[in-house]
Structure 1
Amino acid sequence: MSNLSEIVDSLENRISKLLNRHEKLKKANAELEEELTILKSKQQQFENEIEAWTEKCNSLKLANSMLGSDQHKRETKLKINALVREIDQCITQLSE
């Protein structure tokens, strides 16, 4: 009988330890999920900033090329040619 009692006590002790460990893991998981949410938000914010700076950089390159900068003349010519083609397509569609 005492052997059975010892087994039950041992099981209770193990279950108690498992429940305690489970609670700790749940708390750690919740903290990690919160941190993940914060980091995802920051990542999105940084991606938006990168996109905005990329647009500004492209605008500055275009402005420099229009001011006569030799460095970006080819890009400007290609952009102007693309715009002229679009205008020609619009004129063609309007004349039909």
Structure 2
Amino acid sequence: MSNLSEIVDSLENRIGNLLDRHQKLKKANANLEEELAELKLKQQHFEKEIEVWTEKCDSLKLANSMLGSDQHKRETKLKINALVREIDHCISQLSE
């Protein structure tokens, strides 16, 4: 009989240990999920910031080429042609 009670006590201890580990793992998982959410927000913020800086860089390149720099003339011509095509398209839609 004492052997059976020892087995039951051992099982109770193991189950208690497993429950403790389970709770710790749940807390760790919740912390990791919170950290992941924060990192995703930071990533979105940085992606928006990169987009803004890329647009500023492109604007500066365009302004620089319009001021007479030979470095970005091809890009400027392509951009102007694209803008002219877009304006022509708008005009054609308005005339319909």
Give the RMSD, CA atoms, in angstroms. 1.5
Partner of 2:20: 20
Partner of 2:63: 63
1:5-84 alignment, distance < 5 Å = 5-84=5-84
User: Alignment partner of 2:28: what SS?
Assistant: helix
Task: Write the distance in 1 (CA, Å) between the matches of 2:35 and 2:93.
Answer: 54
Per-residue CA deviation, residues 21-77 of structure 1 (Å, 9 max, x unaligned), is 111111111111111111111111111110110010011011001101100101111
Task: Write the distance in 1 (CA, Å) between the matches of 2:62 and 2:35.
Answer: 40
Tell me whether 7-16 or 77-86 shows the greater mean CA deviation: 77-86
Q: How has the CA–CA distance of structure 1 residues 2 and 91 changed in structure 2, closer, same or farther, with 3 Å as cutoff?
A: closer
User: Alignment partner of 2:68: what SS?
Assistant: coil
One-letter code aligned to 1:5: S
Q: How has the CA–CA distance of structure 1 residues 95 and 32 changed in structure 2, closer, same or farther, with 3 Å as cutoff?
A: closer
Q: How has the CA–CA distance of structure 1 residues 25 and 53 changed in structure 2, closer, same or farther, with 3 Å as cutoff?
A: same
Q: Mind listing any 5+ residue stretches in structure 1 that lack a counterpart? A: none
Q: Percent identity?
A: 85
Q: How has the CA–CA distance of structure 1 residues 34 and 88 changed in structure 2, closer, same or farther, with 3 Å as cutoff?
A: closer
Paired residues, number: 96
TM-score, normalised relative to structure 2: 0.89
Q: How has the CA–CA distance of structure 1 residues 64 and 2 changed in structure 2, closer, same or farther, with 3 Å as cutoff?
A: same
User: Alignment partner of 2:71: what SS?
Assistant: helix
Shift of the alpha carbon at 1:95? 4.8
